[in-house]
A and B are shown apart, each in its own frame.
Chain A
Amino acid sequence: MDLTLFLQLLLPGLTTGCVYALVAVGFVICANVSGVVNLAQGEFVMIGGMASSWLVSAALPLPVAILIAMAVGAVLGAAQEKLTLAPVRRAPPFIQVTTTVGVAIVLRGFALVLFGADPLSLPGFTGDGVFFVEGAVIPIQSLWVWGMTASLLAATFGVLRYTDIGRAVRACSINLQAARLMGVDAERLRMIVFAVSGAVGALAGAVVTPIVLSSWDAGVSYGIKGFVGAIIGGFRSPMLAVAGGIGIGLVEAFGAGYISSGWKDFIVYGVLLGYLLIRGGVFRVGRAAFAAALANPMH
């Protein structure tokens, strides 16, 4: 087997997989805390990449640009929760889902108007050089992506496991009413989770832009691929979501390299569809939905 080709596909696949993994974790945590799947998740990655590129081209130093982009992500995330999700909390689920789609459209449109239709780029954080692994050419920026992803994931799991607020987030996912009885301010917690999710997404976008460029419509791709990762984790387990996100990044890379780059998206979305149709399981509406409707008058 051609090791060089294999590595040339594996390592960049790992890189994009890292971004998908972060989106997937964002999906899962936000969904567990707020009860709604935020279909605008991928747009935060796009906004992070676009905003930091634009700020750098306006002569801001790179670290400042990235911090501002993260702040923008945080504010947008919190605003989305407070302004668009909190008001429809009691509305039927399809209205909640559609609202998140609406927000995604607004973010796309906003990026289009503000940043224009052309793709933007960032210089690599430590230059645009490359390094070699057994003949495969890998951008040095990849190390930033891997490193940042690993740190963010470690921080996320650490916070969830060892801090009071992380415990509260987990408690809300398990039993919201009991968590409330302990004095957890669920509304405030939701806003915080969405803000962090927005900031992390933005950071991921900024770090990966030197490699893959960023454009106003890139959010959909990140969103749907991150979604695959979250689905494979059953939307409950952040760890499996990470595995799923990285997995789909690898599938995409190997599909493009070994089968056909033109059919790459077909393969990736085919995996999603196939998984859903075969292992629908938890995501099917069935008797469980009836039981839930009849049981608890206080949802």
Chain B
Amino acid sequence: MARLARYKTALAAGLGTLVVVAYPLIFRDDYHLGIGITAGALAISTVGVVLLLGLAHQLAIGQAAFSMIGGYATGILCVDYGWDPFVAMIAGAALTMLLAYAIAPPLLKLRGFVLVMATLGLHLMLIVVAFQLPITGGAIGITGVPKFAILGLIHFTGETDYFYAVWAIAAIAIVIGLNIDHSMIGRALRAIAGSEAAAASVAVDINRYKVQMFVIGAGMASVSGSLIVHYLRAIDPTVFGFAFSLNLVTGTIVGGLLSIWGGALGAVIIIGLREVLRELSLPLWEAMIMGGLTVVILIVFPRGVAGAIGDLFDRLVGGQRARHASLDNSGTVALTPFLAADATPSAMLEVAAAARAFGSLRAVNQVSFTVAARSITALIGPNGAGKTTMFNLIGGYQPLDSGAIRLAGQEIGELLPRDIAILGVGRTFQNVQLFENMSVLDNVMCGRHRQFKAGIVPICLRLPKARAEEIETRRQAIAALGFVGLHGAETMSPSSLSFGHQRMVEIARAMALQPRLLLMDEPASGLNDTETEQLAELVLRIAALGVTVLLVEHDMRLVMGLADHVVVMDHGEKMAEGPSDRVRADPRVIEAYLGRDRDSAA
């Protein structure tokens, strides 16, 4: 993590701890302590919302449903069965997470607006259940819930004790959130938000991370619910209603949904606002003000209050350094070879009678060709020839209707882009799909995704294994940047680079994956002559490492200069292939590009 970011986190942690410790010393009465406790419990939930909404961009409005499950679990287990509160809280969280895990996969495949309604529907269904089932006490709910205690050893009888307990748990939630945020998973989630297609190309398992965030968020909401119930000493169906869910979302957005601290800040803002309005005898204004703030922030400054504070900090402290890093023009650095010299078969990619149609249009019609290992092969053809479709078939972005595609002998026709990336296929995109929401270095580190082995638990707890892998990933990413000649660009944001340099970053990201096959989609598009020449040299150095390159390209100078082998497509079929000079002189190829003379015979 960059030094500036570390200072920011330390400062936030320090300030936060100071405020939390000081609060009960200033406000000693039960009423104000109660407000503080509620804010703390809410802060636990909002961390979950940041993970799901801010990182994974999944707007699921039913968060309060999980708080309800946790709250009722605590109520039922403690009152009806006399369980220890701490154990009941853990049990409630476990149950909630299990439920979330069960419904997540089909749910998270739904598109944005549908997910909102589906989770809202779920929440409302659970409220009905709470009203109707005898075990939940119906409309009256459950009363006489004991105060919070841990394993019968520690009892929190005073409000001050409980305040510290709640905020201690909130601190744990925040730490977990930060660990996730600054890890490979955090990068993967931001990658998904930046460009799903590019995220898949670096082997990010989009659905798995969405599910993980959903489940973790559910667990945090459950814990939050249990703690609130221990404060209220009761629960009924109206406690965690629809309004509660809306508050979580609006609070998080206002606080800053792209930052874990934003969640906690948001919780404090909601509770604070509620108190201010109560003082002014305007309690009913809460919804309108929060709603209005949400809309304004989404439109004007999506990163919220936390984002604004963070920017202020950057400007005051780190001003000069971060943004104006200059590129080191000392040239390129060699990359350690990563492919075994003799392990590759002669044919890296085999396309056999591939076909794909869109309705009556046969975009790719029985096309067959082979890409030799360690070669540079170009796929060319006039507009509408079907090259892009063919390329997307190889990359898994389109399904094959018939035929086969084999990578080093292995069938990949049915595989999705992510699976193909795991097999060692890297890809660049015509319109440069960099992740705008992270630094250049983070972008390239995403390329190492498939080699990263540590799972969610080591990441949450920041175990040594996870830390070691993170350091290695960083090292490899810096090496890849040096390879493409962009040493010094690490902390820059992609949008501040020239288009040519952005293209290089994308190539560095693909190289970080250590591919055996690199697919390049019109890499020269948008480049001037100088940049095209630099690109050519880079591609040659990549080939020198033993990587097989397949590129779709229109710029004939690049194609003819680079390619060992050229495949020409027209009208969905392969019409010619061979060495570049032979293809260029082929009259059928010339006709395909220039068109047939009006007077010549059909």
Residues of A that sit less than 8 Å from B by CB: 36-37, 39, 84, 87-88, 91-95, 97-99, 101-110, 112-113, 116-117, 217, 220, 224, 227, 231, 260, 262-263, 265-266, 269-270, 272-273, 276-277, 280, 283-287, 289-291, 293-294, 297
Contacts and interface: CB of A to CB of B under 8 A. Distances in A.
B151 interface: no
A117 B242 CA distance: 16
Contacts of A97: 59, 112-113, 116
Contacts of A294: 197, 388, 392, 397, 429-431
Given A112-B284, A280-B109, A293 B197 contact: yes
B116 A106 contact: no
Given A98-B298, A276-B114, A293-B195, A263 B132 contact: yes
Contacts of A102: 250, 253, 291-292, 294-295, 298
Contacts of A108: 287-288, 291
A263 B128 contact: yes
B35 to A, nearest CB: 21
Contacts of A293: 195-197, 433
Interface in B168-184: none
A94 B57 contact: yes
B292 A106 contact: yes
A277 B197 CA distance: 24
Nearest to A260: B132
Contacts of B416: 287
A272 B119 CA distance: 11
B294 A284 contact: no
A265 B125 contact: yes
A105 B287 contact: yes
Nearest to B124: A269
B83 interface: no
Contact of A272 (B118, B128, B288, B397): B118
Contact of A95 (B287, B290, B291, B302): B302
Contacts of A88: 298-299
A284 B132 CA distance: 33
A110 B286 CA distance: 10
B294 A105 contact: yes
B276 interface: no
Given A39-B117, A93-B112, A284-B111, 10 more contacts: A37-B113, A94-B112, A97-B59, A98-B294, A105-B287, A109-B287, A224-B120, A263-B128, A284-B109, A285-B109
Query: B-side binding surface: helix, strand, loop or mixed?
Result: helix
Contacts of B118: 272-273, 276-277
Could you say which of A103, A109, A280, A291 has the most chain B C-beta atoms within 10 Å of its C-beta? A109
Interface of B: 53, 57-59, 61, 106-107, 109-114, 116-118, 120-122, 124-125, 127-129, 131-132, 193, 195-197, 200, 242, 246, 249-250, 253, 284-292, 294-295, 298-299, 302, 388, 392, 397-399, 416-417, 429-431, 433
Contacts of A84: 295, 299
A284 B61 contact: no
20 contacts: A39-B116, A93-B113, A99-B298, A101-B59, A103-B291, A105-B287, A105-B294, A109-B290, A109-B291, A112-B288, A113-B284, A265-B125, A265-B127, A269-B121, A276-B118, A283-B110, A285-B111, A285-B196, A289-B196, A290-B397
B112 A266 contact: no
Contacts of B196: 285, 289-290, 293
Contacts of B195: 293
Contacts of B431: 294, 297
Nearest to B114: A283
A76 to B, nearest CB: 13
A90 to B, nearest CB: 12
Contacts of A107: 291
A266 B295 contact: no
A106 B291 CA distance: 5
Contact of A87 (B57, B127, B290, B299): B299
B124 A94 contact: no
Contact of A269 (B125, B250, B253, B286): B125
